[in-house]
Amino acid sequence: MQWQEVCENQNLKNLPFKIELNSQGKVLMTPVKVNHSILQGKIIGRLYQNITGGEALAECAIRTKQGTKVADVAWASDSLLEKIENEVECSIAPEICIEVLSFSNTKREIDEKKVIYFEQGAKEFWICDSFGNISFFVKEGKIERSKIAKNFPVSI
C-alpha cells in the first residue's frame, strides 16, 4: 500500500490511532492515550513561542526507506515548506522531528526513527517522555538544548 492510498481510504479515516507504513507497505496502527495528545499540543505551542519563520506540523507523514513514518510533531521552516507543503507525505524531513513516547514505543523503534529522519534531512530529533521531559539530538548525538529552538525548555 502507498501513503496516497492510506490517505484516500474511507475505512481508515477518523481512526483513533496513529497510522504508518512499514517498508513492505503494510499499515501499522498505534493507539495513543490522552496525555500523548496533551504533550503534542504543548510542544506545538512552545515551538511557536520559540521559532519564527515556519510551521509546526502535527502527525507529520515522512517518506523514508523504511516506509512512511509519522513524527508526532515536526517543525518545518518557510523555505522547506515551499518544497513540501503540497506533497502527500514529506519527501524531505522537517528540520525538527519529535516523537512523544507512548506505552507501545520501544527503544529500538525510536532509535530507528531517529536514524531514518536524519537520513531524510532532519536537523534535530527530539524525544518527549510521558512526563514532558525533552531530549534533544543532532545526527552526531545527544545535545543539551536545541540549536534551532534555543530557548525551548527541557521539560514542558
Residue 84's nearest CA partner among 55, 53, 127, 44 is 55
Q: What is the pLDDT of residue 131?
A: 95
Distances in Å between the alpha carbon of 69 and those of 11, 30, 50, 90?
A: 20, 12, 25, 10
Q: What is the pLDDT of residue 36?
A: 80
Task: Give the separation between CA 146 and CA 132, rounded to whole angstroms.
Answer: 15
Name the helix (H) or strand (E) containing 24: none
Domain of 125 in residue numbering reads as 32-143
Total domain count, the chain: 1
User: Does residue 16 lie within any of the structural domains?
Assistant: no
CATH code, domain with 102: 3.90.1570.10
pLDDT per residue as tens digits for the range 100-144 = 998 778 899 899 999 999 999 999 999 999 999 999 999 999 999
| pTM of the shown model | 0.82
User: Does residue 11 lie within any of the structural domains?
Assistant: no
pLDDT per residue as tens digits for the range 6-40 = 556 666 555 545 555 566 566 555 655 678 889 99
User: Does residue 1 lie within any of the structural domains?
Assistant: no
